[in-house]
């Protein structure tokens, strides 16, 4: 079952909603946070509930902020091509300005994201166990 919780993209609100979820008796297998900052708040809430990441609950984030590789456990996250996103946005703005301020029609592009697998999802341990057996 999938449950969506609102956390306002902040560490403190993510901590609060995960704490409320765990206090309600619901224990998810995994938490996918909307950004890495929220994932850090979720990890704190899981630990404060005397649970372990990833042993009891896996946690992943989104953004691949530099600090996530140094967390304990290191955070599994999704890396977006930020440079390419900024470049596309700047080009769209330039097109709009060159057009005399006329808004350029919407353009949908799919840019490749990269899953950065680290320990917080439990995959590293499972892969090592599989390799040893």
Residue 6 inside a domain? The answer is: no
Residue 93 inside a domain? The answer is: no
Return d(Cα 119, Cα 121) in angstroms, integer: 5
Residue 73 inside a domain? The answer is: yes
Instruction: Express each pLDDT in 23-65 by its tens digit.
Output: 999 999 999 999 999 999 999 999 999 999 999 999 999 999 9
> Considering the entire predicted model, what is its pTM?
0.81
Secondary structure (H, E, C), the chain: CCCCCCCCCCHHHHHHHHHHHHHCCCCCCEEECCCHHHHHHHHHHHHHCCCCCCCCCEEECCCCCHHHHHCCCCCEEEECCHHHHHHHHHHHHHHHHHCCCCCCCCCCCCCCCEEECCHHHCHHHHHHHHHHC
pLDDT score for 30 = 96
Residue 55 inside a domain? The answer is: yes
CATH number (domain holding residue 24)? 3.40.50.2300
Instruction: Express each pLDDT in 87-116 by its tens digit.
Output: 998 988 888 888 877 776 777 889 999 999
Looking at the chain, how many residues does it have?
133
User: pLDDT at residue 129 above 90?
Assistant: no
Residue 20 inside a domain? The answer is: yes
Q: Domain limits at 18?
A: 11-80+113-122
pLDDT score for 131 = 63
Return d(Cα 26, Cα 5) in angstroms, integer: 13
Residue 95 inside a domain? The answer is: no
Residue 40 inside a domain? The answer is: yes
Q: What is the mean pLDDT of residues 78-94?
A: 92
Residue 47 inside a domain? The answer is: yes
The total of structural domains in the chain comes to 1
């Amino acid at each position: 079952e999938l449950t969506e919780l609102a956390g306002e993209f902040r560490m403190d609100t993510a901590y609060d909603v995960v704490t409320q979820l765990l206090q309600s008796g619901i224990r998810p297998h995994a938490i996918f946070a909307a950004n890495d900052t929220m994932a850090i708040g979720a990890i704190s809430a899981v630990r404060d509930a005397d649970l372990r990441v990833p042993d009891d609950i896996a946690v992943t984030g989104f953004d691949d902020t530099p600090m996530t590789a140094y967390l304990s456990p290191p955070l599994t996250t999704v890396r977006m091509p930020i440079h390419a996103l900024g470049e596309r946005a700047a080009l769209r703005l330039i097109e709009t300005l060159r057009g005399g301020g006329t808004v350029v029609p919407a353009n949908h592009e799919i840019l490749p994201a990269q899953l950065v697998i680290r320990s917080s999802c439990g995959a590293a341990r499972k892969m090592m166990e599989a390799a040893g057996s």
